[in-house]
Amino acid sequence: MLSLSRRARELGTENAFVVLGEVGKLQAEGKDIVSFCIGQPDFPTPEHIRAAGKRAIDEGHTGYTPSPGIPALRKAVADYFSRTRGIEVAPDDVVVGCGGKPFISYTILSVTDYGAGHEVIYPNPGFPIYESQVKACGAVPKPIDLRESKGFNFDLDELRKKVNDNTRLLILNSPHNPTGSNISPEELDELAEIVAPYDNLWIYSDEVYCGLVYDGEFRSISARPGMKARTIVADSASKTYAMTGWRIGYAANETLAPAFTRWVTNTDSCPAHPNQYAVLEALTASQESVTKMRDVFLQRRDRIVAGLNEIPGFDCQTPGGAFYVWPNVSGACERIGAKDSDELRKRLLYEVGVAVLADNHFGSRVEGDGEHIRFSYASSFEAIDDGLSRIARFMKKNG
């Protein structure tokens, strides 16, 4: 009998797409669903960026490119990173890929050896692909819990205890998915001090939400003294420019750029040619559209946080970035007799047509920290108001 490898059988997934499949099935059956489950801007890609992509096709930019990307885009990314991260990045340090996600596995594959006991520390809750790729690449997963009392950031004392000579990679994500938290400048300083003594410890800084910071300015650990050489700065056009389906991401590190280039050659050959010209336009043209989208997301954040905190059983902190809220719903679960957040989210979906994600979609539940669900407020004001109204009625009816 033909069988799959254990690696394939045990490979994790991104549950937002699983729930999206549930939503699509219900909608196909004629159900009215308000969805907060997918982290995708609801804005169209700005017109001047779309035009650049069309122009690239018309001009014949449809063949292979160098694996790390076209030179003009690598230079634009280097200039963008230098300007926004406060570090000097050369075009040769930059590799362009098919979205930001591949750089997670490229990094793990480049700094750990299969079965050698090399450890990777990553946030829990967190983007689920971190854990699935650590396991698939044969490294040892070491989640570190993000607690509500810490503003959903690392407990740095706990991090000190976890880091050891076998630790090869520390994954940071700020602004953070799913909680929307930001790592403060003071925490970045302390993180840099913790990793500095370990010569073989790299940092993967997932900065795909860097354009969506509402409180203060974005800061990258790469700008801390001694951190640039060991930090992989990873970003993409997806969130900042509403280009999720264009699948263009980029990462920078002087030492690892040649390794990343070989991984691209071995997997995708190169990023989509015309799409690279669209992102070149995005990075080098006016950023007015980015500012407008960010301002709307900020208004939506305030709207959904205020609305959730008016619903009995919901307690929602105000996140500093991204487009997610992570309310504590322990009280809501207790009120309606739901055993946990996953039962609550299923009831919201099937009884009132509101789609959210549960905390167990982002890792193991943090012991003693209650139940949480994630809302993406990359939705219209009308959808936010409608969804909140449905939840409020549901709680009143069942609680």
pLDDT in tens, 271-280: 999 999 999 9
What residues contact 13, with CB distance under 8 A and at least 6 apart?
Answer: 128, 132
**DSSP secondary structure letter of residue 244:** G
pLDDT digits (tens, 9 = 90+) for 155-203: 999 999 999 999 999 999 999 999 999 999 999 999 999 999 999 999 9
Separation CA 32–CA 327 (nearest Å): 24
In percent, the amount of the chain with pLDDT more than 70 equals: 100
SS (H, E, C) 324-393: EECCECHHHHHHHCCCCHHHHHHHHHHHHCEECEEHHHHCCCCCCCCCEEEEECCCCHHHHHHHHHHHHH
CB burial string 321-349: b at 16+ within 10 A, e below: bbbbbbbbbbbbbebbebeebbebbebbb
pLDDT score for 19 = 82
Segment 369-377 shows an average pLDDT of 97
Alpha-helical runs (H) found in the chain = 6-10, 15-28, 47-58, 71-85, 102-111, 128-136, 156-162, 185-195, 257-267, 273-284, 288-309, 330-336, 341-352, 381-398
Separation CA 127–CA 130 (nearest Å): 6
Segment 91-105 shows an average pLDDT of 98
pLDDT score for 21 = 84
Helix (H) or strand (E) holding 245: none
Mean confidence (pLDDT) of the chain: 96
pLDDT score for 232 = 98
pLDDT digits (tens, 9 = 90+) for 331-347: 999 999 999 999 999 99
Q: What are phi and psi of 325, to 5 degrees?
A: -120, 155
pLDDT confidence band for 146 (50 / 70 / 90): very high
Separation CA 203–CA 226 (nearest Å): 12
What pTM does this model have? 0.96
pLDDT value at 24 more than 90? no
40 vs 241: which has the higher pLDDT: 241
Segment 369-379 shows an average pLDDT of 96
SS3 109: helix
Q: Is the dihedral of CA 156, 157, 158, 162 positive or negative?
A: positive
pLDDT value at 116 more than 80? yes
pLDDT score for 32 = 94
pLDDT digits (tens, 9 = 90+) for 279-302: 999 999 999 999 999 999 999 999
pLDDT value at 17 more than 90? no
pLDDT score for 331 = 97
Residues 62 and 224 sit within 8 Å (Cβ to Cβ):
no
SS3 13: coil
Domains of the chain: 6-44+289-398 (3.90.1150.10), 47-284 (3.40.640.10)
pLDDT confidence band for 216 (50 / 70 / 90): confident
Separation CA 251–CA 99 (nearest Å): 10
pLDDT score for 52 = 98
What residues contact 163, with CB distance under 8 A and at least 6 apart?
Answer: 121, 170, 194, 195, 198, 201
pLDDT confidence band for 26 (50 / 70 / 90): confident
pLDDT value at 14 more than 80? no
pLDDT confidence band for 27 (50 / 70 / 90): confident
pLDDT confidence band for 313 (50 / 70 / 90): very high
Provide the 10 A C-beta neighbour count for residue 179: 28
pLDDT value at 15 more than 80? no
Residue 377 corresponds to which tokens in the numbers above? Answer: 């407020």
Torsion of CA 167, 144, 376, 291, to 10 degrees: -60
SS (H, E, C) 148-185: HHHCCCECHHHHHHHCCCCEEEEEEECCCCCCCCCCCH
pLDDT value at 22 more than 90? no
